[in-house]
Structure 1
Amino acid sequence: MRTILFDPVNGAAGDMITGALLAAGADREAVIRAMASLVQIPETSIVTRCGIQATYVKTHAKEGSRTLEEVLARLRRSDATEDVKEMAARVFTRIHNAETRVHGDHAHFHEVGADDAIADVIGACTALLSLAPDAVAILPLPLGRGTIRSAHGIMPVPAPATAYIFEESGLLTRRTDEETGELVTPTGAALLAEFRRSFAEGDENGTIAAVGYGAGTRNPKDRPNVLRVMILESNESLPVVDILETNVDDVDGEVIAHTISRLHREGARDASAAPIIMKKGRPGHLIRVICRTEDSERLAKIMAEELGTLGVRCIPSVHRFIADRRVLSVRIPEGDEIGVKIGYSKGNIISVKAEFDAVAAAAERNGLSVRDVKKRAEEIAYRELEEWRMGE
């Protein structure tokens, strides 16, 4: 079992999270490519914070102010996978909900609506998913003390939006005695809250397989402005999930599609609909949701609310096999780079699948069929994997 442990030594911000995950072994090419599709090619460097070497990510982006809809439109245009785009959208929705509680309806993003914040969120989500964790653990976050100057004036620390994200997510916090200023940004809090919601809750038990430090911009002399990530491997039993099911025969396709999207946003590990024949030969759909045990009751209520169903079956404590995964970036003869997802178990490759969005874009650019581009990318990935094995 692989757990990603976030240790906010002296805070958490989007660039620190991205840098720490890169230093711990995240797919650098995929992260840079996704971020570069929104801003200039980001710069990564090794810096020192109070004697600790850490990875610093600089996006070279301009400041800006946007609505949630404008931010989501920017995310959709990025060269990231659909899983990354969906996770990033949930991160910004969290921030938007917190900002709305602070400022009221029609709130605009200011600092967090700038291109660098959008790129940081895309980069952090890409980095985390490339590491294919089974679980995520987050140590208590430092609250900070003092005030900060924002687009709305001087604000207390933690910033009001950050405090609301802490409240909504249930992230643990810890008090800081000295006046430190802002240690956790709204972007950093929303990213960690989403990571915690998207994966099973891990603990600190296991063998440390990798360590990475991400650096913040500031460099105080008395404390290291870094966030630490540790990848823990353990021989614990397979992750356990619950399966929720209900049959519906009077719900149209648009409502079912909306419900499945909402269930994903609310933390379902998977949600699907399959056509079935019900009693008296009536056509209907089987709605199935895979989720963490602690989310079962909440997601069952959403199913009842959206679908109007009177009953949801819960099949508890199902062991879930999760293959190890990585993304291999390959270049086809036409020059396009395509990510290929590799699934393997106990050292054996069990699946090789090119990312469809990149395949479709390359096919359109080069006047080729999607099937041909997909086949080329996967064949190149197979060859590179075999060459790597022979060179071991």
Structure 2
Amino acid sequence: MGADDAIADVVGACTALHSLDVDGVAVLPVALGRGFAVGAHGTFPIPAPATVAILAASGLQTVPGDEDRELCTPTGAALLAEFATVRPADLGPRTIRAVGYGAGSRNPPGRPNVLRSMLLVVEEHAAGDRVDILETNVDDVTGEALAYTLARLMEEGARDASAIPAVMKKGRSGHLVRVVSPPDATDRLTGVMARELGTLGIRCIPMVHRFVAERTVEPVTVTLRGREWTIDVKCGWAGGKISSFKPEYDQTAACARELGVPLREVAGAVEAAARRLFIERGVLEP
């Protein structure tokens, strides 16, 4: 961890962020500094190798800075990388609610040595929302237990849940369980994962922006075996046109069972009828 002050920095910064209870954090480009510094391992270039490694993996933007000293330490880089959840360019119009300043002990000429944080209110993007990503790796869970867990997660409010085959340590076969969670459901869903999977650790990637296409449900009437059926078709829109569409599964399955025909036959007939209807309306490219 380094010196005691690094521990104090981490605890203080995390406590401050937790007390603010914000929905996300945007970090402006980080100034790095230049030159050389002397540490426990000798002379090293600025920015320090640890700082470079952390920022390289974070996706945060940086600027060189115009001072011959270290402007961003590994501890500072780690905090910014962990806290950042939103790109500044994605914020859009915002209202400043509060502002805070933290001053350092240095007094460089030409600029104040302060860190400024602003509490903003941002209008949510119409074409998206923000979600938490929950992940855990398991290698001792049966397929039946996985299927049951995924179903329970969806029942408890997950936006999506999946199990991805993975090769674990020592070559064991396992799964990466990934859940897309509304922020207000994260605690509930992590509880389901822990109880059903017996996992000892769940990673949470907080407040990821998710693009969501405009969606509508369009009723489509189709004739099958001499009978008319009306089945809902879920449509995704982009640029005023339908970009994708799919018959609603439960209704399609119920029709297939009642008629005694394969599901794919019903789905294909509904998709063909939907395509003709949408082309006639001018909302789907031929």
Alignment TM-score, normalising by the size of structure 2: 0.50
Bigger relative contact order (CA 8 A; separation at least 6) = 1
Larger Rg: 2
Higher strand share: 2
Q: TM-score, normalised by structure 1?
A: 0.37
